[in-house]
């Protein structure tokens, strides 16, 4: 007993020491955008730019962002009979994050059965449990084609302004391609992570070799392709990768296979758990694919990630394992107990569902987490042959402080003789020169630097999207949100009639399966828009009272496990700069994703039955 307590104290002291090394006073300001002198790095390497005439028409619904949000909302609107729909995107096609992130090895960590939306509607069977990026992009294109969403779409087009026209009660939209059109409804679904960022390393602009961000992969330079063809043009190149987050973990093994020399510059190691991928057998798929199966699977995932005791775990992945371990610690149960006894056992033991945020759950979380992280650290030592490298790859923080990663290829990559880990001891690369990168006073000369340095998160709305919404009375959305998000259900804003923000915060906030948030919002949008169209209403808008009540409810959410004070800094926790009310407003429903989905389904059901969508006003 004594040993365990001491071990835990040592581990926590180590976590605190590692956090202190990594903490930077500049917080999010340590990064820079792919603009100004770096603007060329933001260019689209995937689709040629095509000249077109500006549009000046009227559509019923305009959606900014042709990623999964725009696609799923478009699909649901088409199903509801709203045919006049326009997607607008700065990319050259649909797919959003999967359009841009074509780096080698890109794959989704969430099971395809629940991650790929509209599988039943499109009749598509994923090839594997965790599918590759090109398969996800192809599915996005499938949705667009299936629902006719390419008609009227504007690609390689950036919105300049969106303004509510009080006299005509429509939105006026202008773009950088000279478009000037109107829409009765607008929605913004530009994604939580779409503005690529570069590290603010001294001298970064002086580098004379090749460089690019992972979301703008230059296959002309590297050779190969997103489908896994070897990057043969790197055979004589010394390559540096900066960043070992979820992106770095996926592209580094591919680079290790082909580069003459690969230097991986690490600031904080990722936690890398086993992948456990396998093909999906079409016969097995047929056996489970009864009507409504995908919703059942998505709901089952939510149930397994939540505080109650699930009846079964259909997904059985690294995410549900995290929850299962916490639950077992909190309830003193075993996997067999959970699997066999399920809900009946809860009744038998007369135990309430676990309330996230209570001391009991926090203690259970800590115990389960230390156990898990010890396993993850031990695995490194068994896979990576060089003991010094293995030691440097060990993550010293709680698993949910950073995005957990899952890979069976990442750790073995460091056994390749051409692959060198350059650990920066939490400090980052010191300097970039004309010829290479400096760490610990040593210059590593390279031909190419690949920035796996991630994306802006939580930046203010206007900065992130490049445009602002001008609502009723000239109020800008960035002003309305200046002190933090304020919405009804994460979706509707007072003063911005017929406008929808398709995003996760103040809603389910489900980071482990982002499309679930989207699919749910799409159901709401299609329902309220169809209701307005059927009833001949000109405007849909929440009352400010409903918005304020909702924000107050969100502020009652228990502190999230990822904001813990011993967390290593990162984009999930505001770079360790504290969790003020502005950030707390970005939390989800206090009942977790399950609590939100239950609330919103009841809300939609009430609307369906009686036309009463509490908090929303429909006006003629
Ligand atoms: P991240 O922000 O997670 O990682 C950026 C990396 O760059 C970190 O390792 C960071 O270090 C490092 N870095 C930043 N500045 C410096 C510096 N000055 N010197 C050295 N290193 C530096 O971005 P990713 O693109 O990896 O991932 C973003 C998100 O995208 C993920 O969290 C996930 O949500 C999603 N994603 C999902 C995937 C999947 O499903 N498999 C795959 C890829 C991405 P530090 O950690 O110290 O900040």
**pLDDT score at 335:** 44
Claim to verify: residue 127 and residue 257 sit in the same structural domain: no
Q: Identify the residue whose C-alpha is closest to ligand 1 atom 25.
A: 454
Q: Tokens 């059965």: give the residue.
A: 113
What pLDDT score was predicted for residue 570? Answer: 81
Are both 481 and 606 inside the same structural domain?
yes
Q: Are residues 32 and 140 in the same domain?
A: no
Amino acid 504: pLDDT: 93
In this structure, the answer to whether residues 471 and 407 fall within a common structural domain is: no
Do 211 and 258 lie in a common domain?
Answer: yes
- Ligand 1 near 247 CB (within 6 A): yes
Beta-strand (E) ranges in 356-397? none
What pLDDT does 8 receive? 82
Instruction: Report CA(583)–ligand 1 centroid distance (Å).
Output: 20
Q: Give yes or no for residue 108 CB within 6 A of ligand 1.
A: yes
Residues 491 and 462 in one domain: yes
Asked if residues 268 and 395 have their Cβ atoms less than 8 Å apart, the reply is: yes
Give yes or no for residue 509 CB within 6 A of ligand 1.
no
Element at 439 (helix H, strand E): strand 436-439
Decide whether any atom of ligand 1 lies within 6 Å of the 361 Cβ. Answer: no
Q: Is the CB of 248 under 6 A from ligand 1?
A: yes
In a domain? residue 580:
no
pTM of the complete model: 0.93
411 and 509 in a single domain? The answer is: no
What gap in Å lies between CA 107 and CA 102, rounded to an integer? 9
Please answer whether residues 444 and 453 qualify as being in contact, where contact means their C-beta atoms are separated by less than 8 angstroms.
Answer: no
Rounded Cα distance between 371 and 115, Å, is 28
Q: What is the pLDDT of residue 1?
A: 34
Nearest to 216, CA basis, from 39, 384, 464, 388: 39
Q: Tell whether 29 is covered by a domain.
A: yes
Domain boundaries, position 12: 8-44+196-275+388-451
The CA-atom distances, in angstroms, between 103 and each of 219, 265, 410 are 9, 18, 15
Q: Sort strands 436-439 and 442-445 into parallel, antiparallel or unpaired.
A: antiparallel
Q: Are residues 271 and 163 part of one domain?
A: no
Does any ligand 1 atom lie closer than 6 A to the CB of residue 242?
yes
Residue 545 to residue 316: CA distance in whole angstroms: 41
Number of Cβ atoms within 10 Å of the Cβ of 56? 10
Q: What is the pLDDT of residue 5?
A: 44
Q: Which residues of the chain have pLDDT under 50?
A: 1-6, 334-354
Closest to 276 in 3D by CA, of 112, 393, 130: 130
CA-closest residue to ligand 1 atom 11: 267
Which tokens in the block code for residue 129? 């449990």
- Is 244 a pocket residue for ligand 1 (Cβ < 6 Å)? yes
Could you read off the pLDDT of 158-202 as tens digits, one per residue? 999 999 999 999 999 999 999 999 999 999 999 888 889 999 999
In a domain? residue 26? yes
- Tokens 């109020």 sit on residue: 475
Instruction: Please state, in angstroms and rounded to a whole number, the distance separating the CA atoms of residues 34 and 40.
Output: 8
Q: Which mutation among 195, 214, 240, 243 tests ligand 1's pocket best, with the greatest number of atoms within 8 A of CB?
A: 243
The residues, any chain, with a CB within 8 Å of residue 448's CB and separated by 6 or more, are 209, 210, 211, 221, 234, 237, 238, 239, 240
pLDDT for 367: 84
Looking at the fold, whether 87 and 226 belong to one and the same domain comes out as no
Task: Name the CA dihedral angle for 58, 64, 67, 68, rounded to a multiple of 10 degrees.
Answer: -80
**Domain count along the chain:** 2
Most ligand 1 atoms within 8 A of CB, residue of 111, 226, 267, 571 to mutate: 267
Do 157 and 234 sit in the same domain of this protein?
A: no
Gap from CA of 156 to ligand 1 centroid (Å): 26
Give the domain CATH number at 236.
Answer: 3.50.50.60
Residue 349 lies in a domain: no
Looking up tokens 């210059």, which residue turns up?
A: 443
Answer whether residue 359 is part of any domain.
no
258 Cα: distance to centroid of ligand 1 (angstroms): 22
Examine residue 183 and state whether it is found in any structural domain, yes or no.
yes
Cβ–ligand 1 contact at 193 (below 6 Å): yes
**493, 464: one domain:** yes
Domain boundary among 406, 425, 451: 451
Residues 594 and 501 in one domain: yes
Our answer on whether the CB atom of 275 is closer than 6 Å to any ligand 1 atom is no
Q: Which of 182, 64, 188 is nearest to 492 (CA)?
A: 188
* Placement of tokens 């580094």 in the chain: 252
Tokens for 124?
A: 């598509």
Could you identify the atom of ligand 1 that is nearest to the CA of residue 424? 20
SS3 helix, strand, coil % of the chain, rounded to 5?
Answer: 45, 15, 40
């Amino acid at each position: 007993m004594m040993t365990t307590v001491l071990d835990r104290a040592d581990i926590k002291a180590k976590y605190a020491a590692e956090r202190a090394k990594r903490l930077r006073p500049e917080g999010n300001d340590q990064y820079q955008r792919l603009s100004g002198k770096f603007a060329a790095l933001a260019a689209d390497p995937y689709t040629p730019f095509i000249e077109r005439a500006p549009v000046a028409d009227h559509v019923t619904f305009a959606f900014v962002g042709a990623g999964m949000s725009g696609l799923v909302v478009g699909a649901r609107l088409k199903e509801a009979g709203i045919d006049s729909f326009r997607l607008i995107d700065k990319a050259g096609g649909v797919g959003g994050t999967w359009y841009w992130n074509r780096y080698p090895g890109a794959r989704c960590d969430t099971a395809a059965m629940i991650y790929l939306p509209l599988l039943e509607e499109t009749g598509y069977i994923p090839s594997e449990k965790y599918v590759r990026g090109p398969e996800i992009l192809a599915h996005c294109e499938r949705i667009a084609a299936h629902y006719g969403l390419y008609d009227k779409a504007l690609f390689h087009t950036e919105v300049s302004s969106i303004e509510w026209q009080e006299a005509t009660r429509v939105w006026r939209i202008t773009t950088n391609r000279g478009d000037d059109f109107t829409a009765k409804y607008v929605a913004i679904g530009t994604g939580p992570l779409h503005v690529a960022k570069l590290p603010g390393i001294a001298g970064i602009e002086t580098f004379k070799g090749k460089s690019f961000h992972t979301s703008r992969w230059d296959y002309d330079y590297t050779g190969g392709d997103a489908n896994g063809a070897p990057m043969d043009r790197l055979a004589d190149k010394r390559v540096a990768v900066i960043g070992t987050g979820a992106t770095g973990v996926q592209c580094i093994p591919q680079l290790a296979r082909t580069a003459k020399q690969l230097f991986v510059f690490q600031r904080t190691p990722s936690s890398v758990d086993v992948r456990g991928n396998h093909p999906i057998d079409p016969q097995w798929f047929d056996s489970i694919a009864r009507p409504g199966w995908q919703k059942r699977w998505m709901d089952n995932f939510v149930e397994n990630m939540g505080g109650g005791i699930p009846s079964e775990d259909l997904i059985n992945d690294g995410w549900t394992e995290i929850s299962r371990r916490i639950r077992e610690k909190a309830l003193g149960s075993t996997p067999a107990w959970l699997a066999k006894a399920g809900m009946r056992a809860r009744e038998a033991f007369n135990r309430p569902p676990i309330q996230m945020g209570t001391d009991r759950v926090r203690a259970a979380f800590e115990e389960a987490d230390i156990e898990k992280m010890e396993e993850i650290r031990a695995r490194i030592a068994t896979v990576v042959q060089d003991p010094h490298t293995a030691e440097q790859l060990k993550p010293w923080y709680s698993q949910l402080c950073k995005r957990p990663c899952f890979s069976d290829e990442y750790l073995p990559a460091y056994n390749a003789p051409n692959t060198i880990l350059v650990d920066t001891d939490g400090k980052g690369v010191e300097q970039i020169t004309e010829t290479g990168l400096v760490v610990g006073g040593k210059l590593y000369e390279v031909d190419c630097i690949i920035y796996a340095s991630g994306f802006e998160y939580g930046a203010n709305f206007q900065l992130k999207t490049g445009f602002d919404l001008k609502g009723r009375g000239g109020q800008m959305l960035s002003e309305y949100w200046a002190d933090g998000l304020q919405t009804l259900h994460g979706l509707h804003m007072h003063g911005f009639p017929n406008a929808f923000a398709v995003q996760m915060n103040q809603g389910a906030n489900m980071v482990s399966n982002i499309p679930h948030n989207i699919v749910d919002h799409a159901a709401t949008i299609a329902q309220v828009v169809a209701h307005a169209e059927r009833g001949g209403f000109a405007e849909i808008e929440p009352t400010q009272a409903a918005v304020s009540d909702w924000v107050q409810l969100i502020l009652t959410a228990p502190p999230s496990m990822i904001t813990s004070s011993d967390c290593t800094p990162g984009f999930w926790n505001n770079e360790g700069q504290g969790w003020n009310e502005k950030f707390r407003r970005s939390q989800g429903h206090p009942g977790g994703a399950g609590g939100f989905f239950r609330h919103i389904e009841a809300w939609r059901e009430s609307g369906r039955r009686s036309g009463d969508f509490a908090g929303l006003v429909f006006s003629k």
